[in-house]
Amino acid sequence: MHKGTNKKPAETPGIVYFNQTLMTAPYLVWALAFIIIPLLMIFYYGLTDKTGAFTLENVIAITTAQHSKALWLALLLSLISTALCLLLAYPLAMILAKRSVSQQSFIVLIFILPMWMNFLLRTLAWQTLLEKTGVINSVLTFLHLPTLNIINTPAAIILGMVYNFLPFMVLPLYNSLTKIDPNVVNAAYDLGANGTQTFLRVIFPLSIPGVISGITMVFVPALTTFVISNLLGGSKILLIGNVIEQEFTQASNWNLGSGLSIVLMIFIILNMVLTGIFDKNGEGTAL
Amino acid sequence: MIKQCAQKVYIGLIFIFMYAPIVTLMVLSFNNSRTRAKWGGFTGKWYAELFSNRSIMQALYNTLLIAVVSAVAATLIGTVATLSISAMRRRSRAVFMSVTNIPMLNAEIVTGISLMLLFITLRVKFGLGTILLSHITFNIPYVILSVMPRMKRLNPSVYEAALDLGASRVQAFFRVVFPDLLPGILSGFLMAFTMSLDDFIITHFTKGPGVDTLSTKIYTEVRKGIKPEMYALSTLIFVTVLILLILVNYTPKSKEKQSSGQNGGSL
Amino acid sequence: MKKHLVSTLFSKSAGLILSAALLAGLLGGCGSDGASAGAEGANGSGASADADGGEVIVYNWGEYIDPDVLDMFEEETGITVIYDEFETNEIMYPRVEAGASKYDVICPSDYMIQKMIDNDLLQELNFDHIPNAKANIGQQYWEQSEQFDPGNKYSVPYCWGTVGILYNKTMVDDVVDSWSILWDEKYADNILMQDSVRDAFMVALRLNGSSMNTLDPDELAAARDLLIEQKPLVQAYVIDQVRDKMIGNEAALGVIYSGEAIYTQRENPDLEYVIPKEGTNVWIDSWVVPKNAPNLENAEKFIDYMCRPDIALLNFEYITYSTPNEAARELIEDEDIKNSPIAFPDLSQYSLETFTYLGDEGDELYNEMWKEVKSE
């Protein structure tokens, strides 16, 4: 019912309740001071050297063997985890969307409640679970099954990423799936489509905004993480997030760190463009 | 029937996946050994020691203080911003919304570093204040994004009717418009609260001496081994939230929704 | 980033909003109670002295002091301790250098102290105000400190130790007396290396017979190649997690600070600590006062307090790192520990070195090479 009336006010300015300048000023100042200027500082540091002279060296540094390897590895691992999240989350979102009752509290239980346990502790708990003499392997040994040796490997990092970011995939998917009008699906069946056809031709295309938004929600944090790779990768695997973090906190080479951050931002801008294409209202959310 | 079963098994597996680490942490909180590597028998002593551990209590206090203050501030600024953005022309609205999206889409590490560089350049003393400013910054977008949809759903004629009936603008706003926005504002506040509570990376880069939140404290402890008191605290928080959720969500609905027992049962 | 997650739930479920609000209230209440109780505990004792006592801002390694000692200090002096922790020297340095965070007392290691002296970040100490230091700290530690703090002007030794190999007797059959065992393929995936530039390079450099303070590019390249060669055998690069992992029988061999060895042995008697024959690093962590310290007087009081024999003993028993405080060592009751070759080794029989500061370019060279190892 709202849909029809919703679109129009989005095009034209809404009601001015109070003095517009007075209302705009606080956020404008805040956004300038704490969003725009800090970003410009990254560009300033990234594009200058230690003496303050302009240089592209810090950005080009991404092409050195160590940095490009860290970036490729980060891209690879985050793409794999995004794909895994999608594969795991889609069936789950479909099951949840079909169940009419109480999936709300179920989602809370399964995805929100764990967030109240600190995320570092939860990730650390995977160490205890996955270690050579950890919980999972103790159980496997007890059952005389072969042991699982993935701790300190890329596989463990992927597991950590999927674990931490799965909720960001499930919820947009669930949202877009519940928005599909059941009549459309029924119509497809009535017109003779079978289950697979209905899924491929009707359900999946309609859920694409959710898929896109889920992918971006998982991909960015996975690409830039340094905590998960540290905790589950045994510090043996250097991702681009680790390199940047170390440049700032240990090598104290802020110029290089900022230069590499600029490279990261390119991927984030790509992401924003992608989200923008599927988000015509300009609201920045697929809700 | 088989399909139903398969679905339940699938949900069950995801549930185990999400909860295995949590159960692990809970078990560790009863471990009578300072190290997580060894099971030293069952004990409840960490729960007692927790409350006399000054630094953990201080970190908890800081975490909650930062979460509450930054959520309140972000809610105020964000709500006002939403009012102004919704009154804007399309072009400026698009600009404002993209700026709003930056902290949400940008990598947390980049946001954290950019704020750190700002504070260093301005020679601001790192401490509670810098953490607060940073948290307010990344919280505002959550508020805007949750109030905005409510804003769009408002029916302008109700407000106009109130004016016609002789209400002042302030009266009309607070009596007519505000109640409609309230759920959005509340949910924005809670989002901001939760995000602030869970943040580690941005705090990591903007914190000052002696000011620790639970997250930064845990990160420092990772190197030396997490103190068991920390597991105990997490377990307490978790159980409290769980009980509250059960109380609030299940009590009034238990008659109408028998099926909710299913989920309760899977606990 | 998590907008969908939370907004879905919060915007739809009024019940949840209520519950979360309740929770916030509840936690908030309990949290502030706890904290204020804690604060009272802190002030309660020194409540009267609090106003004139002022504060002292301490920046120390994680888990590197007995927390009771801080309480006792506050109680006795009325000075409030603001306590902050760092994980490595390299993380500490930029924070102090940037000047955005001001500290009164810091506890860096040898080579980092030299770097801070070189970069004019520290102030000379007035030892008249720190009488316990000269009285109780053993002469040999002052001499050792001369390497990085000529004339002993800036630093007061707090802890010292060696770096060696901790191994599990049930998992290692060979005689462990050389760093080379860390390159033995028999122990693939059973080796824990130090995740810090200087310590990791120290192992490789000493094995090659080089100085661990070398700036010779060829020697460094050789060490780097050695570390790269070792990488497939390494289970994880860790700092202090060596402790938990060795206790839990996760690995057979680990490079560890001697101070951790006593603690791990207590938890797991199968573990043994050795100083390899090629020699190792003798390190000293010392108290220093930065130039911009806001509370100089309290900083001196704090350092002096740490040098008191009974206090040094409490710290030694809590953190198990060797104390340079001879008077405190005399107070140790357990003869085994008092004469423990781990805590108090006879240093004359080893080839030992202490890290020195290599200059900005030297640092960069090491960092660059370490990154090559880590990204391999």
Average pLDDT per consecutive 10 residues, chain C (376 residues; last block may be shorter): 42 42 44 37 38 84 90 94 85 80 92 94 95 94 92 95 94 94 95 92 95 94 96 90 89 93 90 93 94 94 96 93 93 87 83 88 91 89
Per-residue confidence (pLDDT) for residue B250, from 0 to 100: 65
Question: CATH 1.10.3720.10 spans which residues of chain B?
Answer: 54-226
Interface of B with C in 175-234 (CB under 8 A): 183-184, 186-187, 190-191, 193-195, 198, 208-210, 212, 220-225
Q: Residue A42: closest CA among chain B residues belongs to which residue?
A: B114
Encode pLDDT of C268-285 as tens digits: 999 999 999 999 999 999
Q: How many domains, in total, are found in chain A? A: 1
The CATH class for the domain spanning B54-226 reads mainly alpha
Lowest mean pLDDT among A96-110, A153-167, A264-278, B143-157: A96-110
Q: From chain C, pick out residues whose CB is under 8 angstroms from the CB of B55.
A: 67, 83
Interface of A with B in 67-126 (CB under 8 A): 88, 91-92, 95, 101-102, 105-106, 108-111, 113-126
Question: CATH 3.40.190.10 spans which residues of chain C?
Answer: 50-160+283-338, 162-282+345-375
Question: Identity (one letter) of the amino acid at A45?
Answer: Y
Question: Which of B184, B223, B249 shows the shortest C-beta gap to C87?
Answer: B223
CB-based contact A261 B226, cutoff 8 Å: no
**How far out from the chain centre does Cα C57 lie?**
18
Q: How many CB pairs under 8 A join A and B?
A: 250
CB-based contact A65 C375, cutoff 8 Å: yes
Interface of C with B in 250-279 (CB under 8 A): 250, 267-268
Length of chain A measured in residues: 287
Helix B228-250 vs helix B54-86: angle between axes, to the nearest 10 degrees? 50
State whether CATH 3.40.30.10 applies to domain C162-282+345-375. no
Q: Phi and psi (nearest 5°) for C160?
A: -150, 170
Query: Which among B106, B115, B109, B117 is positioned nearest to B141, based on CA atoms?
Result: B106
Measure the CA–CA gap between C302 and C284, rounded to whole angstroms: 19
Beta strand C105-106 pairing with C55-61: parallel
Owning domain of residue A240: 65-251+264-277
pLDDT at A276 > cutoff 80: no
Q: Residue B227: closest CA among chain C residues belongs to which residue?
A: C63
Q: From chain C, pick out residues whose CB is under 8 angstroms from the CB of A175.
A: 4, 8
Interface of C with B in 153-212 (CB under 8 A): none
pLDDT classification of A80: cutoffs 50, 70, 90: very high
One-letter-per-residue 3-state SS of C164-189: EEEEECCCCCCCCCCHHHHHCHHHCC
Q: Which fold has domain C50-160+283-338?
A: D-Maltodextrin-Binding Protein; domain 2 (3.40.190)
Q: From chain A, pick out residues whose CB is under 8 angstroms from the CB of C88.
A: 250
pLDDT at A192 > cutoff 60: yes
pTM higher than 0.90 for the full model? Answer: no
Measure the CA–CA gap between A213 and C10, rounded to whole angstroms: 19
Distance from CA of C208 to the nearest CA of A (A): 23
Domain contains A37: no
Q: From chain A, pick out residues whose CB is under 8 angstroms from the CB of B107.
A: 220-221, 223-224, 241, 261, 264-265, 268
Encode pLDDT of B146-159 as tens digits: 888 888 888 888 88
Q: From chain A, pick out residues whose CB is under 8 angstroms from the CB of C236.
A: 152, 234-236
Q: From chain C, pick out residues whose CB is under 8 angstroms from the CB of A152.
A: 235-236
DSSP output for A58-84: HHHGGGSHHHHHHHHHHHHHHHHHHHH
Q: Residue B202: closest CA among chain A residues belongs to which residue?
A: A245
**Taking every pair of C-alpha atoms in chain C, what is the biggest distance, in angstroms?**
73
